[in-house]
Structure 1
């Protein structure tokens, strides 16, 4: 594989890494905004709500990137499922927050952070092999 093709072949994993890091950082930002809101800065609730929309978009991007890693680089299937689950959980988190159901909103936020951390860790430890990429190609062409 030429240098250009090798770089192109790694793009899905680079996209997944970038998306996973952004999701994790945005999840941390959500916790910080919530904590500052609780201290009495009511304007931060608006920021917290707007940032939830950004987090939802980021999780969709991550799910798409996980699918590309699976198809193009022969990555495992579980990160795709975990990324889709994360997207669903963020949607549920938004609904709970809008309904002011904090008894569900706060623990779900911790679960989202844990799943985002696991996915970010995986993206930095996964190394696709040439055999994985060949298997992905065979699966798509059959």
Structure 2
């Protein structure tokens, strides 16, 4: 693996993994709220809002991976789409639009899981 690829892939891997942990906490926190833990919704909102900041950092890391590390080109646009989806998700949550919030949340979780799986495969370390 080329040095520039290694230097850009490891931060991307760590950020994607941390992002995934926060994303996976969201349905757990929502479930706790639905079972009567009213304080869990505040944590759910805080974690959701922090995901926007994490998503922005993820976009930067993905862009550096693509441009400086010569990684797969689709990763940067995928990170942007994920960030935009999280922004819409936050808006839908705060307006209590559950008809959008729940299915979009499932989509964000699935996309985050798939990205996290891919970033740890050997394919992610190959220069394009």
Q: TM-score, normalised by structure 1?
A: 0.83
Which of 45, 49, 63 does residue 49 from structure 1 map onto?
45
1:40 aligns with 2:50: no
Can you list the C-alpha shifts for 1:46-84, whole angstroms capped at 9, x where unaligned?
Answer: 111111111111111111111011011211221111100
Runs ≥4 residues deviating over 4 A:
none
Which of 83, 86, 89 does residue 87 from structure 1 map onto?
83
Q: TM-score, normalised by structure 2?
A: 0.91
Q: How does 1:13-92 map to 2 (within 5 A)?
A: 13-92=9-88
Distance (Å, rounded) in 2 between the aligned partners of 1:92 and 1:36? 23
| Residue number in structure 2 paired with 1:96 | 92
Gaps of 5+ in 2: none
Which of 6, 12, 15 does residue 10 from structure 1 map onto?
6
Number of equivalenced pairs: 125
| Residue number in structure 2 paired with 1:127 | 125
Gaps of 5+ in 1: 133-142
